[in-house]
Structure 1
């Protein structure tokens, strides 16, 4: 009976594909070719982008059509990028303000894109808040935040002054608006660094929260004191006439960083969190049982390519909004270090012990419905490898795709995904799970050039599921329920993706590839 039902289902699927939207003589947009053992159809998408004539990483990058990982539109031939993000939610819309790098943006002016689902974006033309072309304290705009009080929107931001005309390199400024899309600077408001800091250079990134119970605004600001990065707290009256400095609420526990950028606080369950991007490092978080500290157990989330993340909360959950780091040249195979990149959003998840991890946005995952046929006629692959890398070609690298599967390993080595860059294995770009170091790595040049990594906690013999989503050159690898790693892979589209292992045995099971 089961076989008969599967047969009927297959016939109905084929009829639906050939009849939906197709008249006689027309080729269907896509057609089902074969089925796996469970009756799930493989789909051939006749609209796959052809990368065969795009022979350089730069030409591939120009051909990508970013949707989920938003990029601003071209300014002539100039590609601008998304810098530090400031997200605000209201009435079904996420307003994502960002420091725009390049194009028509003067000195990192603030621009805006809107979304309802983190899948498609509407770019708003022109700056929402522009740096002052005459110089002065607003010569550059720095990160801030938006808060609504009554019918008024307040945009707190960093005014970065032009030396030597300004006493302070950075002060906190505000702009006012009657809508979340238009603001006018209030030249009468300014917060300067407190004397106790002993410096006038680092005082930035105001994050504002409105406390309905007290009617006050709480403002956190990142600064430094005695060459140690710190986060400060202020209390402001709702009319901004009273500003009270409440002191330091967090010190960099490592004492290694001079700046904790884009600090943010939020609550999940009964835990209070503070997050920050340590200068040129990664996103970090620490946890407290009470608002605004004391915080403990500081830990990294993701790697160095997911930067300047801050949270936004909507009806479907809480998200981290950041930018995915890029290279100045797509042909660079030694590092990914440039400022600004694509917009990237991930869902914040909490473990029972209060620790946090990031997961893909549900609606992004839901797009990937078309099962694609792998290069091997099996869903499971076992690899036993010695000291040399062993590869199996398995997936195709489309313009946008999602991979899912499971893995179980034994031995102290590494395994993962290898992306072909130029046909030479010495230049493979690799997402690697290293069981010796307990790191999820991105490395180039067949493992010899480290790019970024994040910690994992894995055990031999246990089975873990993974998800990998890539659009254009931006990707995120998730070990589900545990860790994420944002990656930048230029020059790999239109080529095969290999499973690999070295110095271990790994079973890859339930392997799937989907496109949208």
Structure 2
């Protein structure tokens, strides 16, 4: 991705500081030992600036994660999560390590940005690969005062932590390519060519392409035919792809299929990480299609610049969740934020599914008490089972107490009698503003397909709702949804049936009450459990 030469705004969300009377309180959750623990039953809104480190959705204490470049090192069996460090510092590359994506360690600069006036005064995204005993980091050198503004550059290391820049390697765009947009090199070994291949994000003849070069020694590169941007038109989304840059590409084999991932920065609702599928690394690349339709994304708008790494058994996708909750004046979400990683699972048709990493899931194993604070509409409860039926004039919901630490909420929702339901966060006081995670099982929304939405809702006489995020939703035949929601500070990731991941930034969510709601028909919620990490 092109380095962003601006400071991230500090994000604040002020909430009303009034209170309301609790009603219809009932103690819920767990055995007697859990039930006697104190639960905060207040509903006054809490608002404040985020403080302290993130444990599950990694972020450096004094800055932010931009464009992850994950690499698995077989020598120590750890994933090195290299990333562009955003802290008004021209994006040096830093790293943190993990063995399982449940815990992260380290905070280390491994490649500094260049001197003022140098080609790599700003550093852009790249990739890591090993040949023999030497590690190679191919990265973007960016300086907007130069023509070309961007070149592919190289640093090498013997231990992944101490790197030496190799200034003799400075690959610039060949004739016909966009000289000032030539970035995000991704290098992989191609057995069919018996050579290394490099993908580079650029344009040719006004169209977004991935330029390709090949080498046998990682030093001398020759140009080969590019991959074009129009690798499958996105019919339902209606996106014009020709001029778009395919940022942060990745190419890998999983099973007997090849996958190409890339992110599109085209400044509208489709700013996501996409994938295409092929039977060979040269393509042809197609959108994955099966009986349920076409599938091409891993998450919503809040996971960007996703790239992958595998230990040979499990593959993970890592991207970043913006610090922003809404778009800025450029119609973009602010650049950089928290590290978000999903485990990728391959289906029988080749389709890729996003699920919670097993280690992250198992970290949350200490049950905490919860309490239903209030009912609105038709809500019944029996032994951790909740039945909610929409009112004739609108929503029914059950309000639950605030969570004061990072938690995982788990439940099963039977929606065989409903098509519209979900969760709302920031449901404090008499909520005139909440943020909802909405399950829409219909095809009557503006995307004409079942989807998860994140909406800002103005209630109690407000002006309706504003869509902030969406991702397609796979609806099982029985319409039963197994849901896991991981919450840490203002980051909320929803996992559904081990098939769908939905990342969101919700500042009002942190330490405020929440609800389960239904807007149409009836739902039954079973096995509601709230757990924190031990």
Change (3 A) 1:409 1:123: same
Say yes or no: does 1:296 pair with 2:286. yes
Distance 1:52 1:316 in 2: 46
1:459 Cα deviation from its structure 2 partner: 5.7
1:194-247 CA distances to partner (integer Å, 9 max, x unpaired)?
2133x3221110111135786632111111223322222211121513x12112
- Who is 1:7 aligned against? none
Q: Which has the higher contact order (CA 8 A, sep 6+)?
A: 2
Distance 1:402 1:233 in 2: 43
Change (3 A) 1:237 1:431: same
- Who is 2:200 aligned against? 221
- Who is 2:94 aligned against? 111
Distance 2:136 2:437 in 1: 42
- Who is 2:151 aligned against? 171
For residue 260 of structure 2, the aligned residue among 259, 274, 277 is 274
- Who is 2:496 aligned against? 479
Say yes or no: does 1:439 pair with 2:445. no
For residue 235 of structure 1, the aligned residue among 214, 231, 243 is 214
CA contact (8 A) 1:395 1:513 kept: no
Distance 2:48 2:335 in 1: 19
Say yes or no: does 1:248 pair with 2:226. yes
CA contact (8 A) 2:44 2:429 kept: no
Change (3 A) 1:294 1:141: same
1:53 Cα deviation from its structure 2 partner: 10
Distance 2:100 2:361 in 1: 12
Change (3 A) 1:309 1:329: closer
Change (3 A) 1:134 1:461: closer
Distance 2:55 2:182 in 1: 35
Distance 1:390 1:87 in 2: 44
Distance 1:239 1:49 in 2: 59
Segments ≥4 residues shifted beyond 4 Å: 33-36, 43-46, 48-54, 211-215, 410-413
1:149-202 CA distances to partner (integer Å, 9 max, x unpaired)?
111111000111231xx22121111111122011111111122112133x3221
1:499 Cα deviation from its structure 2 partner: 0.4
State how 1:388-407 maps to structure 2 within 5 Å.
388-394=394-400, 396-407=402-413
CA contact (8 A) 1:147 1:153 kept: yes
CA contact (8 A) 1:303 1:452 kept: yes
Distance 1:272 1:223 in 2: 22
Change (3 A) 1:336 1:204: closer
TM-score (norm 2): 0.80
Unaligned runs of 5+ in 1: 1-32, 75-79
| Counterpart secondary structure, 1:85 | strand
- Who is 1:77 aligned against? none
| Counterpart secondary structure, 1:189 | strand
TM-score (norm 1): 0.83
Distance 1:282 1:161 in 2: 26
Distance 1:215 1:459 in 2: 43
For residue 67 of structure 2, the aligned residue among 84, 93, 97 is 84
Change (3 A) 1:65 1:53: farther
